[in-house]
Amino acid sequence: MPALRVGVVGASGRMGSETCAAITHDPDLELAVKVTHSDSLDALVEEDAEVAVDFTTPSAVAANVAWCLDRGIHAVVGTTGLSDDDVSELRRKAEASGANAIIAPNFAVGAVLMMRFATEAAPHFDRAEIIERHHENKLDAPSGTAARTAALMSARRPDGWGPTGAEAKSRGEDHRGVRIHSVRVPGSVAHQEVILGARGQTLTIRHDSIDRASFMPGVLLAVKAVAKSPGVTVGLERLLFPGA
């Protein structure tokens, strides 16, 4: 079977560079093209890319993925910043074109497990807060991982969370009843801590990515799965826990 031809959009960035290296070393994949900020997406078509991996910026990702889907190119999306409306529009485009997309706020398997554990714990505690820490150049805050964690946890609490207590400015931003505190400092890669509390007890669930290599198994899993994942799939957990 011929290797799957993959293009990386945002290839000169930190995640893009790591992705290019991972694809190059995978015998089932071929790095068809690297697309940097100065290149045209037309290179994906010119080099017959079957899958495009997007690690660009929140301001560019929606247009990039829509462009790919319109041209029948599957997309794997690691760039955060897509709104619910963006995802709905991409679902429409995927249905019309027959190309698929997998959108994952975090490709680290440990991070996905952290999110799943926190979601399972949510119904059993009164309150939850999230502290997320990333490198100083991360453009969005809170992170996509933190926002999705809050959404997944709150979905397990149809009646909402308990009283939030003090409402000082330093209490973080409210996301569906969960407060998220974002830290951006040099020396960090991607770190998240979920703290749940109930009378007389707390539960802390934490994940740390100390190297971008931690994301690559999830990226490669999505690249190989996207052609068989109809429409738009949100969250790597859909691949790790099918049917869950």
d(CA 101, CA 77): 7
Q: What is the pLDDT, as a whole number, of residue 140?
A: 87
pLDDT at position 112: 95
pLDDT confidence band for 185 (50 / 70 / 90): very high
Res. 162: pLDDT tops 90: no
Active site residue 134: yes
pLDDT of residue 18 exceeding 90, the answer is yes
Confidence (pLDDT) at 169: 73
Confidence at residue 242, expressed as pLDDT on a 0 to 100 scale: 82
Q: What is the pLDDT of residues 198-216, one digit of tens each?
A: 999 999 999 999 999 999 9
Domains contained in the chain, CATH given: 4-103+213-240 (3.40.50.720), 109-210 (3.30.360.10)
On average, the pLDDT of the chain sits at: 94
Residue 207 is a catalytic residue: no
pLDDT on residue 170:
80
- Distance between CA atoms of residues 174 and 115, nearest Å: 18
Predicted confidence (pLDDT) per residue in 228-240, tens digit = 999 999 999 999 9
Residue 163's pLDDT is: 76
pLDDT (mean) for 29-53: 97
What tens digit of pLDDT does each residue of 96-114 get?
999 999 999 899 999 999 9
How far is residue 190's CA from residue 211's CA, in Å, rounded to a whole number? 8
**What does the block give as tokens for 220?**
């490669």
For residue 134, the tally of other CB atoms under 10 A from its CB is 23
Among 90, 86, 112, which residue's Cα sits nearest to residue 99? 90
Instruction: Considering the candidates 74, 93, 134, 175, report the single residue annotated as catalytic.
Output: 134
pLDDT of 69 strictly over 80: yes
**pTM, to two decimals:** 0.86
What is the mean pLDDT of the segment spanning 84-97? 96
Calculate the alpha carbon distances from 39 to 18, 62, 195 in Å.
19, 17, 43
* pLDDT > 90: percent of the chain: 86
- For residue 244, name the pLDDT band (cuts at 50, 70, 90): low
Cβ neighbours of residue 76 under 8 Å, at least 6 residues apart? Answer: 51, 52, 53, 54, 101, 102, 104, 219, 222, 223, 226
Q: Is the pLDDT of residue 168 over 70?
A: no
